Chain A
Amino acid sequence: MSMTEPVETMTEPWDAFDAAPSLVRTLPAAAPIVPKNSIAGRSLTVVVAIMTFLASLTTGVAMLVVSAASDWQSEVGREVTIQVRPAPGRNIDADVRAASEIARAAPGIAEVRAFTKEESARLVEPWLGAGLALDDLPIPRLIVVKLASGVRPDFTSLRQALATRVPTSTLDDHRRWIDRMRTMAGTAVIGCIAVLGLVLAVTVLSVTFATRGTMATNRPIVEVLHYVGATDGFVAGQFQRHFLLLGFRGGALGGGAAILMFGVVEAANSWLAGTAGGDQIAGLFGNLSIGVAGYLAIVLQIIFMALVTAFASRRTVNRTLETID
């Protein structure tokens, strides 16, 4: 040993230090290994929140469209119309009564209601004006036939019976209209599912990239943990837990905002019920409620976002560890 001064005899500034025992007691609680409130972490929370909100919004709207399309089809499908045309030598009122009786007698019919002359006049009022004397015009009369749920009536027999006893009548089961409606609704549903798929894909990608960006700022922590002997599982676990919470927080913010929004829309719709505007909206979109399934889907999306964030962080940590090792 050839040091200029023996170690034993040297005095260091820290040799004389006598730490106060109180310091031991006043040490703060251990900080988390992964810092909780970093700027990058807050940015990631915002990204997750926004993307979860958009995905939840798309999910809710898709569910509303699917539900409304199904309502339209079932509403229209539950009704058929018998049209009775006036003809020389025939009593249209008698024909309407006869057609109504035939319809009532057919199986699977829940309700038959013939439009009165006044109601028929009101139907054509927007085109022909008020105060019309229907007796002077050859205006057909309508009979609305509501079908019993769960039973499919035999329209062929009904048509034959009507043709025999009331040859001036026509049965319209709205088939063409329903087929068009079904095509339109199907297109709308496929469109919504496609948009939802795209939004979810974009959400997963943006959350993954944002997580990777945030992880880049944590690389020194990964390196230090690795060098002090932490196993890969320990390091990945620390980050996975942190990012799972971070993703859940962001998801809960975004998903919670979407749930709140759908709740407000649903409440507003019920307040507006009975008004002209409310009825128009209800006619188009039903009761504007995404239902329990919709809210559940949003909650599942929140959990999904948290899992995506955690998974992305784990993959990034593992990749970082591979580059270090």
Chain B
Amino acid sequence: MIRFENVGLRYGLGPEVLRDLNFGINGHSFQFLTGPSGAGKTSLLRLMLLSLRPTRGLISMFDHDTATLSKDGRANLRRRIGIVFQDFRLLDHMSTYENVALPLRVLGKEESDYRAEVVELLQWVGLGERMGALPPVLSGGEKQRAAIARAVIARPQLLLADEPTGNVDPNLGQRLLRLFVELNKSGTAVVIATHDIALMDEYDARRLVLHEGRLHVYD
């Protein structure tokens, strides 16, 4: 699904923050991406989301060399990836329902076509009663579940989550992890970036460990 070959990344003229990355993400797989703060987890996720370009190396996604893709081609690949941000990034002027439905609107679907699907997903993540609520009145856990619902509503083949449990209590963190496991069971490959050791100990999965810009894979 995704293949990194000798990928390096630097910001401007600074030092390389990621070096010689060689790894792959297979379909239906589940992995944690971990490492100390500042190790480059978010940068690596952004490379996988095609919102950053590597300074060297080859990134191949869904059988496409990303370096040769047009802007629209990159946007089209991005539609096959769901992303959950640590800070949720919900749009405050839109209801929970509208936030979750946003990727489908972007795809040009009619609301009548996706309404039932969005409602069903909101019920599944436990936000059925909060569909009309605006993000500022949602709790941290509700926001995180809404962000996860938005990330998976378009049935992505890959789900990236950046510190999804960073802003919630451990109990809710475990519940969210179960949600990711459920999504993985339904066929979505999952990459969870976290430095929460306890969370990783909850589930036996592949670990991608970033240390001093290099990636160590523990299958």
Chain A residues near B (Cβ < 8 Å): 1-4, 7, 10, 12-15, 17-19, 23-24, 26-28, 30-31, 33, 35, 38, 220-221, 223-234, 324-325
Rounded to whole Å, the gap between the CB of A13 and the closest CB of chain B is 6
For the complex, is B187 an interface residue (Cβ under 8 Å from A)?
A: no
Closest 5 A/B residue pairs (Cβ) = A14-B126, A19-B128, A229-B79, A35-B93, A2-B204
Rounded to whole Å, the gap between the CB of A22 and the closest CB of chain B is 11
Interface of chain B residues 47 through 101 with chain A (CB within 8 A) = 49, 51, 53, 71-72, 74-76, 78-79, 81, 83, 85, 89, 91, 93-95, 97-98, 101
For the complex, is B202 an interface residue (Cβ under 8 Å from A)?
A: yes
Q: Is the CB of A23 within 8 A of B72?
A: no
Q: Which residues of A contact B131 (CB under 8 A)?
A: 19, 23, 27
Q: Is the CB of A12 within 8 A of B102?
A: no
Given contacts A1-B204, A19-B122, A27-B119, 14 further A-B contacts (CB under 8 A): A2-B203, A3-B177, A7-B182, A10-B175, A12-B175, A14-B125, A19-B128, A23-B132, A35-B93, A226-B51, A227-B83, A232-B71, A232-B72, A324-B51
For the complex, is B25 an interface residue (Cβ under 8 Å from A)?
A: no
Q: Is the CB of B75 within 8 A of A24?
A: no
The answer to whether residues A3 and B51 also contact, given A23-B131, A27-B97, A229-B76 and a CB cut-off of 8 A, is no
Chain B 95-128: CB-based contact to A (< 8 A → 1; otherwise 0): 1011001110111000100011001001111111
The answer to whether residues A13 and B126 also contact, given A23-B119, A229-B75, A231-B75 and a CB cut-off of 8 A, is yes
The answer to whether residues A232 and B93 also contact, given A30-B105, A31-B98 and a CB cut-off of 8 A, is no
Q: Which residues of B contact A221 (CB under 8 A)?
A: 91
Closest partner residue, chain A, to B99 (CB atom):
A224
Rounded to whole Å, the gap between the CB of A290 and the closest CB of chain B is 42
Q: Is the CB of B202 within 8 A of A223?
A: no
For the complex, is B154 an interface residue (Cβ under 8 Å from A)?
A: yes
Q: Which residues of A contact B71 (CB under 8 A)?
A: 231-232, 325
Rounded to whole Å, the gap between the CB of B42 and the closest CB of chain A is 13
A232–B83 Cα distance when bound, in Å, is 18
Interface of chain B residues 125 through 176 with chain A (CB within 8 A) = 125-129, 131-132, 145, 150, 154, 174-175
Q: Which residues of B contact A3 (CB under 8 A)?
A: 177-178, 181, 202-203
Q: Which residues of B contact A226 (CB under 8 A)?
A: 51, 75, 78
Q: Which residues of A contact B204 (CB under 8 A)?
A: 1-2
Q: Is the CB of A31 within 8 A of B178?
A: no
A31–B111 Cα distance when bound, in Å, is 12
Q: Which residue of A10, A38, A223 is within 8 Å of B89 (Cβ)?
A: A223
Q: Which residues of A contact B115 (CB under 8 A)?
A: 24, 27
Chain B 174-218: CB-based contact to A (< 8 A → 1; otherwise 0): 110110011000000000000000000111100000000000000
A223–B175 Cα distance when bound, in Å, is 28
- Interface size counted on chain B using CB atoms at 8 A: 53
Q: Is the CB of B72 within 8 A of A233?
A: yes
Closest partner residue, chain A, to B201 (CB atom):
A2
Q: Is the CB of B103 within 8 A of A229?
A: yes
Main secondary structure of the interface of B (DSSP, over half): helix
Q: Is the CB of A227 within 8 A of B89?
A: yes
Q: Is the CB of A4 within 8 A of B202?
A: yes
Q: Which residues of B contact A225 (CB under 8 A)?
A: 102, 106
The answer to whether residues A31 and B95 also contact, given A13-B126, A232-B71, A325-B71 and a CB cut-off of 8 A, is yes
Q: Is the CB of A17 within 8 A of B123?
A: yes
Q: Is the CB of A228 within 8 A of B126?
A: no
Rounded to whole Å, the gap between the CB of A293 and the closest CB of chain B is 43
A15–B129 Cα distance when bound, in Å, is 13
A23–B115 Cα distance when bound, in Å, is 11
Q: Which residues of A contact B125 (CB under 8 A)?
A: 14
Rounded to whole Å, the gap between the CB of B169 and the closest CB of chain A is 14
Q: Is the CB of B102 within 8 A of A224?
A: yes
Q: Is the CB of A17 within 8 A of B178?
A: no
8 A-B Cβ contacts within 8 A? A2-B201, A17-B128, A19-B129, A30-B98, A31-B94, A38-B93, A227-B51, A227-B83
Q: Is the CB of A234 within 8 A of B106?
A: yes
A35–B98 Cα distance when bound, in Å, is 13
Q: Is the CB of B89 within 8 A of A224?
A: yes
Closest partner residue, chain A, to B150 (CB atom):
A228
The answer to whether residues A10 and B178 also contact, given A223-B89, A227-B89 and a CB cut-off of 8 A, is yes
A316–B54 Cα distance when bound, in Å, is 25
The answer to whether residues A17 and B83 also contact, given A227-B51, A232-B71 and a CB cut-off of 8 A, is no
Q: Is the CB of B126 within 8 A of A229?
A: no
Q: Which residues of A contact B93 (CB under 8 A)?
A: 31, 35, 38
Rounded to whole Å, the gap between the CB of B138 and the closest CB of chain A is 13
Q: Which residues of A contact B154 (CB under 8 A)?
A: 228-229
Chain B 7-49: CB-based contact to A (< 8 A → 1; otherwise 0): 0000000000000000000000000000000000000000001
Q: Is the CB of A232 within 8 A of B119?
A: no
Interface centre among A13, A23, A220, A232 (most CB of B within 10 A): A23
Q: Which residue of B75, B97, B126 is within 8 Å of A230 (Cβ)?
A: B75
